A and B are shown apart, each in its own frame.
Chain A
Amino acid sequence: MIENTKCECGHQNRVGTVLCEACGKPLFEVDSGEVLEMRYDGTARRSQRVNPNIIDKVWNFFSSVKVAIYLIIFTLIGSIFGTIFQQESNFVQVDASKFYKENYGTIGDIYYKLGLSHTYESWWFITLLVMIGASLIICSLDRVLPLYKALSKQKIRKHLQFLTRQKVVYQGPIEENAVEWVQRCAGPLKKKGYRVHIDGDALLAEKQRFSRWGPYVIHIGLIIFLLAVLFRGLPGLHLDKHYWFQEGEITRIPDTTFYLKNEKFRVEYYSEEEMSDDFKGTGKIVPKLFETKVVLYECTADCGDPSKIPVLEEVKRHAIQVNDPLSYKGLSAYQFDFDLTPKLRSVQPMLVDKTTGEQYGKFKLDMTNPLREFKLGPYTLELSNKFMDFSLNDQGQPISKSAKPNAPAFLFTIKGPGVPDTGGQYIYFPKQIDKERFQQDAINEKLGGLQNKLELDVLAMEDVDFSNSSSYLNIRIDRAMPFVWLGLGIVMLGLIMGFYWQHRRIWLRVDDTILTLGGHTTKNWFGMRREVSSFLQTMGVEVDEKSLDNGGNRP
């Protein structure tokens, strides 16, 4: 069916037009007195065509606000599912297939099997987001262009019915000459911030049209945000790892050219004086500060080559705290956890002659990569083996239980005066507790009895080097973040444009001595009525605010 879309004013309208694009005369429901539907100023939406093909159909589907609302509702309900139990992404290194059954019982198991334990990464949730994105783009395009055209070519003189069927309407007699009266209107309206266009005895006053673009600006922002969120996982854009950084050590950050040194970690707790009287009674201990002082180095040469020592250049120093991460060129490091277990790094024992008490000298014994030979006085100590976590296996042989220096032991071959030429074996436990636990003397007795003649002993505390703690940092690179913030910024701009300003228009025409006024605003009719009534008052027309209401709010 081909509808007749030609208006009586002679303008040819497109299919789907509600109000004539030129004079505003309603093309449907001509006789009803209902308030006009002013969405998109009554123009045809882009998608409204006579014979839709498949592309049109898809386009029409996504251009429908109804569909958009359903999509939002589905996303809303889907999101609720994800909050019923903990999400997998919120815990690290737990076997999810058992976790849900053990913690939440059968319901938890069903929850896991339905894939709800990773709701927000599931295909259907992402599909919903993509569809919302499509809807945002197509809905906006479909409306913003016709609206833009309609608003930029507004006719000043509108059809009488267009005016009387607005939501704010006034009709009444005026005494003066029509053209002069209309001319006189311009002043007070301009004072209220309106831009006034006059065409003889008709007038159009308009302000804050930009607020009309608010919703579309919001949608553009949301599209950018969604794109950034959906594609920030692209390879190379994203890194999110947690690593331990031992105090005092320079640690390489894998997959980057950076090295990080944990200079000092500290944790502070609130003292009693800092707590309120009520709170002291609870006996709780509350942490006040977690801080890792770090130095970031960038490798400038010999980086990927494990046979060479990399050349490092210091690029940044920072005290990382919760809420104050280190950031450098898109790389960020966040305080995540810490471990206060001290770790032995090196000792400097003294070689002592047990019979004379003579001291032959100190040497530095590193736990990792120690030197192999030490010369002390007349003696040569050759390190022949080391065990980081000393233990004896079933056959009574020394082994190391792990690579951690929990119970380090060092086996030396000592040569020198009073020792056989082939050298004597001597085992040394730097930690006092291990000496007793593993009976250092008894082992040395078996090895040849050197313990009666020589002894390795740490004489002072400063000869022991501990790393006090290690700090667990979250290392992140997220190249999409600027787009996330940009998108959100645009959303906020659009929200403020659209919600805190209103596009207001007042049409006037005088037919003989009868003034007809129609007013339209996108929001806040209360304010609009107040403005119109105050404007009419300055023009000498007394009218009650409420009486301007042409209804339309009624259900």
Chain B
Amino acid sequence: MSLLEFSKQAFVIGFYLYCVAFIFYVIAVTGKTWRNRDPQQHERKWGRISFTTSTLGLVSHLAYCGTRWAYSGHIPVSNMYEFMSFLSMMIMIAFTIVFLIYRKILLGMFAVPIAIIIMAYAAVFPQDVQPLIPSLKSIWLYIHVTLAAAGESFFAVGFVAGFMYLLRSIPFGENDKSTRRQKWWIEFTFFSIIILVGFIGSVFAFRAAGYEAVFTTNSTTIDNQVQQDSTIGKVVYKMPPIVAPYQSQSESVKSFLGMDKPLFEAPSWMAGVNAGRKLNTIVWSVISGSLLYGLIRLLIRKPIGKAVSPFLKGIAADDLDEISYRAIAIGFPIFTLGALVFAMIWAQQAWGRFWANDPKEVWALITWLFYSVYLHLRLSRGFQGRKASWLAVIGFLVVMFTLVGVNLVISGLHSYAGTD
């Protein structure tokens, strides 16, 4: 078995171990109320089992990273697949560190699924080992990306703890205006996460089925007011086309549930190369995510937030607030060093300009500014508890936009190949 094969296996094993660990964490937390059990003993026993499992998953994940590194000769962070799996690994490391400090099993129930989702998201992207282009050949690739991801993963833990704080402290039984609004946003956060799951799920489902549809687009650009330049492009869909590319003819469309032609065409302002396909993917994600969300609601018969919050009774809200703040405080210097300082040093070395106003750079700065607002509000204006937790939740949204959104929506010097 080659190193690369081994690495791929380790990735899959790590993924399943995380899934199992997640189930164990859920058992550890929810099982306390089962009959014939001493709650404390149950928690201690299952807490140990689940933490061991998630650590084994992390070991496997580290093995994936190490062997892929050995095979390719460079740290596996050079494309979207590699970076996202690296990020989920760093989140698990950050979680493990915070867990060892605070020993709160509940944290695992929320942090592990975040790592799982990001890991699954990584698998959406092409997984081939790519040779390193000259501008990435630098020791700073290792330092910059590793530290930036480390800082971001502490922000992720801060988000998890902040979100848990909200679930713990919002009085789901009450119905005043502010509570209603907060409940709505909690539900919205859950819904967004489920949409992401829906996206990953539909990608894998259609990939497994080998679905494909091909469109030809004919785009005409007018140069110099005289010359007409028409290019014929081919767009390959891996999901049934609900939305066809703007001004396109279908070449081949596999039938899906009797649907053998697109229902709509993308609007004219979405004329970008892959804009139609991206829109189609988004539509599918929303559909499958909504179905999934509806199914969950049907099963539990109440808002997810309300259903989950009772499990958090065993943990003090203060502690969650403290954990969230602590994780962000640990992550902030690391993030500054990795995502800004070392990024600037590298940019100075590679391009001669330490700051180029590249969208990714600017968004890293925005993330930094956001968390410095968080820290100032917390330290000087007494933002604690609920307000601080909402900021931690939004902060992670900013982080994810920086990592994923910028690549999908805007691209710049950091463009990784193969974004869907």
Contacts and interface: CB of A to CB of B under 8 A. Distances in A.
A75 B134 contact: no
B319 A334 contact: no
Interface in A47-106: 65-66, 68-69, 72-73, 75-76, 79-80, 82-84, 87, 89-90, 105
Given A276-B129, A286-B133, A288-B131, A120 B373 contact: no
B333 A279 contact: no
Interface string B113-127: 000000000000001
A75 B369 contact: yes
A553 B384 contact: yes
A65 B380 CA distance: 7
B279 interface: no
A282 B356 CA distance: 31
A240 B318 CA distance: 53
A221 to B, nearest CB: 10
A20 B319 CA distance: 31
A155 B41 CA distance: 48
A63 to B, nearest CB: 12
Interface string B361-393: 011011001101100110111101111000000
A270 interface: yes
Contacts of B249: none
B410 interface: yes
Interface string A288-302: 111000000000000
Contact of B336 (A288, A491, A500): A491
B366 A325 contact: no
Contacts of A491: 336, 341
B356 A90 contact: yes
Interface in B317-361: 317-319, 321-322, 325-326, 329-330, 332-333, 336-337, 340-341, 344-346, 348-359
B380 A90 contact: no
B134 A76 contact: no
B207 interface: no
Given A65-B376, A546-B316, A555-B169, A275 B385 contact: no
B34 interface: no
Candidate in A68, A281, A555 with the most chain B CB atoms within 10 angstroms: A555
Given A83-B410, A90-B357, A554 B385 contact: yes
A236 to B, nearest CB: 18
Given A332-B352, A334-B351, A553-B318, A69 B366 contact: no
Interface string A523-539: 11110000000000000
B352 A549 contact: no
Interface in B207-259: none
Nearest to B317: A554
Nearest to A333: B352
A126 interface: no
B321 A553 contact: yes
A541 to B, nearest CB: 23
Nearest to B341: A488
Contact of B381 (A65, A119, A546): A65
B376 A555 contact: no
A17 B382 CA distance: 18
Interface residues on B, range: 35 or more
A360 B384 CA distance: 95
Contacts of B336: 491-492, 495
Contacts of A488: 340-341, 344
A83 B362 contact: yes
Given A120-B357, A499-B332, A288 B128 contact: no
Contact of B352 (A37, A270, A325, A554): A325
B336 to A, nearest CB: 6
Contact of A288 (B134, B348, B349, B366): B134
Contacts of B381: 65-66, 69
Contacts of A554: 317-318, 385
A526 B102 contact: yes
A526 B357 contact: no
A481 B348 contact: yes
B133 A278 contact: no
Given A65-B376, A87-B357, A323-B350, A525 B322 contact: yes
Contacts of A500: 330, 333
A555 B385 contact: yes
A420 B352 CA distance: 63
Contact of B349 (A76, A270, A325, A523): A325
Contacts of B379: 39, 215
A287 B344 CA distance: 24
Given A83-B410, A229-B355, A277-B4, 9 more contacts: A73-B373, A90-B358, A240-B352, A279-B128, A287-B133, A325-B349, A491-B336, A492-B341, A554-B385
Nearest 8 interchain pairs by C-beta: A278-B128, A555-B385, A276-B129, A495-B333, A553-B318, A65-B380, A322-B134, A334-B352
Interface of A: 37, 39, 65-66, 68-69, 72-73, 75-76, 79-80, 82-84, 87, 89-90, 105, 119-120, 215, 229, 240, 270, 274-279, 281-282, 286-290, 321-325, 332, 334, 474, 476, 481, 484-485, 488, 491-492, 495-496, 499-500, 523-526, 546, 549, 553-555
26 contacts: A65-B381, A69-B376, A73-B373, A76-B370, A76-B373, A80-B362, A90-B356, A215-B379, A229-B355, A240-B352, A276-B72, A276-B128, A276-B130, A277-B4, A278-B129, A288-B131, A288-B134, A323-B350, A334-B352, A485-B345, A488-B341, A491-B341, A492-B333, A523-B329, A553-B318, A553-B322
